Amino acid sequence: MSLLGRWRITEMDLWDHDAIDLVGPAFIQFAGRSGHFRFIAVEGWIDCHHRRRDGRPFVDFTWDGHDDCDPASGRGWAGLEDDGSLSGHVFFHHGDDSGFTAVRAEDDSRYGESPGRGTK
């Protein structure tokens, strides 16, 4: 199984479900060496490095974007679990960090794209 495609973020360590879906369904998406995510009022564009960890797909990434219109950046990682879910962690440069859990998104049309930048 591949990490490519869109994943619905269902849980985060620091924020509850209502918060993570503040501006729309929370997601993380991987498209080759790039990607995109959104949760709460945070939106980021990802530069990915795919590899395998313990025999399963894994990705390290850096990101830049915005948090409620303020510039934001950081790093993170995500890996495929035995049950087919995705677990990972996102770090804000000089700020918070949170683990997350995601499941493969069933309907991409609910997520929309960010005007002017979109998914790389």
| CA pair distance 19, 97, nearest whole angstrom | 15
115 within a domain of the structure (yes/no): no
Residue 25 belongs to domain spanning? 5-105
12 within a domain of the structure (yes/no): yes
Instruction: Collect all residues with Cβ–Cβ distance below 8 Å to 114 and sequence separation of at least 6.
Output: 36, 38, 43
Number of domains making up the chain: 1
Instruction: Collect all residues with Cβ–Cβ distance below 8 Å to 12 and sequence separation of at least 6.
Output: 20, 26, 39, 98, 99, 100, 101
114 within a domain of the structure (yes/no): no
pTM over 0.85: yes
Instruction: Collect all residues with Cβ–Cβ distance below 8 Å to 102 and sequence separation of at least 6.
Output: 7, 8, 9, 10, 27, 28, 78, 85, 86, 87, 88
116 within a domain of the structure (yes/no): no
Residues 84-114: tens digit of each pLDDT? 999 999 999 999 999 999 999 986 555 555 4
Confidence category of residue 119, pLDDT binned at 50, 70, 90: very low
72 within a domain of the structure (yes/no): yes
25 pLDDT above the threshold of 50: yes
119 within a domain of the structure (yes/no): no
